[in-house]
Structure 1
Amino acid sequence: MEYLLQVKIGALFGLLLLTLLFGFIPARVKWFRAANGTENHGIVLSLISCFAGGVFLAACLLDIIPDYLSDINDVLESKRVETSFPLPEFIIAAGFFFVLIIERIVLNCRNSAGTHDERAPLIQTNSSVHGLSHNQDLEASGQHIHVDFHAHSSFRSFILFLSLSLHSMFEGLAIGLQNTDSKVLEICIAILVHKSIIVFSLSVKLVQSAVPPLWVVAYIGVFAIMSPLGIAIGIAVTEAQLESGALIQAVLEGLAAGTFVYITFLEILPHELNSSDRQLLKVLFILLGFSVMAGLTFMG
């Protein structure tokens, strides 16, 4: 077995194991799953969630969308497609509206079941937020802390998982298609660092949603497999010397980017900012999460 192939296989297993490790920390540690506790416990959980929101915002604006735009423009240029219509942006919008339409259909079908959390408005007023039946009221030292542990619907959590998983597979594909071991290691290290943060944040979001614990474990397991799967596909394409489906990959990336735009701006950020408690501190932690990912992106 040649050295380059050994490096790619090593990257495959490294990504799999580290993603599982960081993903199972919030999923299996009871502290993250507790729906009640002390005032400090509620505050820390809320700030961790805000940090995760900043991570997803950075992943959306600095990672997923730029990667997709670069890939789709390269494909269009290679195929000599020239048009004044903003096709790359239209594909993102298609992904956005696809999720919006599917979600509305799903929620309308569930109306008769009386499920409240998935029929709640995406952006809630303070009065409606404090009226949710799933809220946990934490009282300590005579103070009232509002923590909305089930604001995330299971459907939106699934869409978040799906869009991140598709992007993760494309990242793995980029590793598998490389033809030098130094480039494989460079890309793999970058993905390891930022994917560890993202899978931890994803796990936190899933834990705080209505997703059952066993499904959280299943989601993290599948998410962990996606990058190795992409590497395996890239290795197969490279070894067989086949033409890669660059256009199909770029279109799928665009649809995934559109779904992630939907989740980031209509689910994650409104959830973190839907209460008037400690707004400035929450914004600071969102900024902190964004800055960490921005710093990793800047360093390459």
Structure 2
Amino acid sequence: MESLIGVKLGCLFALLALTLVCGLSPICSKWFKIDTATGHHRQVLSLLGCTSAGVFLGAGFMHITPEALEGIESEIQKFMEQNRTRGKADSSNDAESAFVEYPYGELIISLGFFLVFLLESLALQCYPGASGQSTAQEEERGGNPVFDFHSHESLSSPKQSPFRAFVLLLSLSFHSVFEGLAVGLQPTIAATIQLCLAVLAHKGLVVFGVALRLIKTGTQSRWAISSILSLAFMSPLGLALGMTVAAGDSEGWKGLTQAILEGLAAGTFLYVTFLEILPRELSSCEPPLAKWGCVAAGFAFMAFIAIWA
């Protein structure tokens, strides 16, 4: 038992160290400042951004969404089994089968998507331009942007959204807590190490991509560092919680609530990926096939990691 606790503590520090290194390296290095880059340097950074977009796409489809769907389906099945043991024989088998087969996971992820869509729409309704619309779009509506964060960018380039950057950090924070929780709940040393390695394999790339997003949105260094620090402590926090939670505590409404929150986080992650990250990277002036290749490479790497994750 003490050996298992020691391994989990080692995983805790490994998750913390990897996140800090991968997240703070781009922020603290002047080489990644795309605003000051020119020529070949700027092109390399732009293509690196496309690769990070592919990493986000792969993380969403190959890691975050499948884990959320699996968790929700598992909790729904547990809920049905508990109802059976309580002797609810008056419900028909057909009705029970329909209840289980309904795509609850997909519904919850979609609700997460539409929740962020609603919040951003409300923000845009109250403060036009706050969600990062381009100046050209504002001029077409005959209005002036209220928050002009990037007036130096071209009119054809979609502007960065501070709100979406915040949503990205929030959704990844939720997911990181659940990843750490899963590691902390493992009953054996072998299972703990295997799952921790799987988490480490894709977490470093995702956090590196987050750091690049913060740099491109023009986030001040102190706020970017604070964001990475808060994100870095999410997985260790979840792992510590998992170590203190008994296996039976994950049953019932607590486990179902965790699965629902992870599904909502997956929906918000997909929203930011498709409406902020991919459009932004694909709007750059690099050759289309080069951008496609970088996005595909990032996605392929995450798909490869999913063999073990």
TM-score tier after normalising by the smaller chain length: 0.7 to 0.9
For 2:12 and 2:284, locate their aligned partners in 1 and report how far apart those are by CA, in whole Å.
41
Aligned residue in 2 for 1:179: 187
For 1:219 and 1:267, locate their aligned partners in 2 and report how far apart those are by CA, in whole Å.
18
Counting only pairs closer than 5 Å after superposition, residues 21-170 of structure 1 correspond to structure 2 as 21-80=21-80, 82=97, 83=99, 85-111=102-128, 118-120=132-134, 133-135=151-153, 151-170=159-178
CA contact (8 A) 1:51 1:289 kept: yes
Letter in 1 for 2:29: V
For 2:22 and 2:250, locate their aligned partners in 1 and report how far apart those are by CA, in whole Å.
35
Is 2:249 aligned against 1:242?
yes
For 1:14 and 1:277, locate their aligned partners in 2 and report how far apart those are by CA, in whole Å.
37
Counting only pairs closer than 5 Å after superposition, residues 269-284 of structure 1 correspond to structure 2 as 269-275=278-284, 277-284=286-293
Q: What's the TM-score, normalizing by structure 2?
A: 0.84
Structure 1 residue 37 displacement after superposition:
2.8
Q: CA RMSD in A?
A: 2.4
Letter in 2 for 1:278: P
SS at match of 1:158: helix
Structure 1 residue 41 displacement after superposition:
1.4
Count of paired positions: 278
For 2:204 and 2:10, locate their aligned partners in 1 and report how far apart those are by CA, in whole Å.
17
SS at match of 1:260: helix
CA contact (8 A) 2:112 2:268 kept: yes
CA contact (8 A) 2:72 2:104 kept: no
Aligned residue in 2 for 1:295: 304
- Identical aligned pairs, as a percentage? 42
For 1:190 and 1:266, locate their aligned partners in 2 and report how far apart those are by CA, in whole Å.
28
Structure 1 residue 266 displacement after superposition:
1.3
Q: Which has the larger radius of gyration?
A: 2
Letter in 2 for 1:247: L
Is 2:222 aligned against 1:205?
no
Structure 1 residue 174 displacement after superposition:
0.4
Structure 1 residue 136 displacement after superposition:
7.2
Aligned residue in 1 for 2:201: 193
For 2:308 and 2:182, locate their aligned partners in 1 and report how far apart those are by CA, in whole Å.
18
CA contact (8 A) 2:43 2:286 kept: no
Aligned residue in 2 for 1:226: 234
For 1:194 and 1:165, locate their aligned partners in 2 and report how far apart those are by CA, in whole Å.
15
- Which portions of structure 1, spanning 4 or more consecutive aligned residues, are displaced by more than 4 angstroms? none
For 1:246 and 1:15, locate their aligned partners in 2 and report how far apart those are by CA, in whole Å.
23
For 2:188 and 2:161, locate their aligned partners in 1 and report how far apart those are by CA, in whole Å.
43
For 2:36 and 2:10, locate their aligned partners in 1 and report how far apart those are by CA, in whole Å.
42
- The farther-off stretch of 81-90 and 208-217 is 81-90
For 2:250 and 2:283, locate their aligned partners in 1 and report how far apart those are by CA, in whole Å.
48
Residues 34/58 of structure 1: CA separation in 2 closer, same or farther (3 Å cut)? closer
Letter in 1 for 2:305: L
CA contact (8 A) 1:176 1:238 kept: no
Q: What's the TM-score, normalizing by structure 1?
A: 0.86
For 2:153 and 2:237, locate their aligned partners in 1 and report how far apart those are by CA, in whole Å.
39
For 1:73 and 1:214, locate their aligned partners in 2 and report how far apart those are by CA, in whole Å.
40
SS at match of 1:298: coil
Q: How far does the alpha carbon of each residue in 1:175-223 deviate from its partner, in whole angstroms, 9 at most, with x for none?
A: 0101101111111111112111111011111110132221111111011
CA contact (8 A) 1:153 1:210 kept: no
For 1:71 and 1:164, locate their aligned partners in 2 and report how far apart those are by CA, in whole Å.
17
CA contact (8 A) 2:111 2:264 kept: yes
Q: How far does the alpha carbon of each residue in 1:117-169 deviate from its partner, in whole angstroms, 9 at most, with x for none?
A: 71339x9xxxxxxxx733279xxxxxxxx9x6x83211111111111111111
Is 2:21 aligned against 1:12?
no
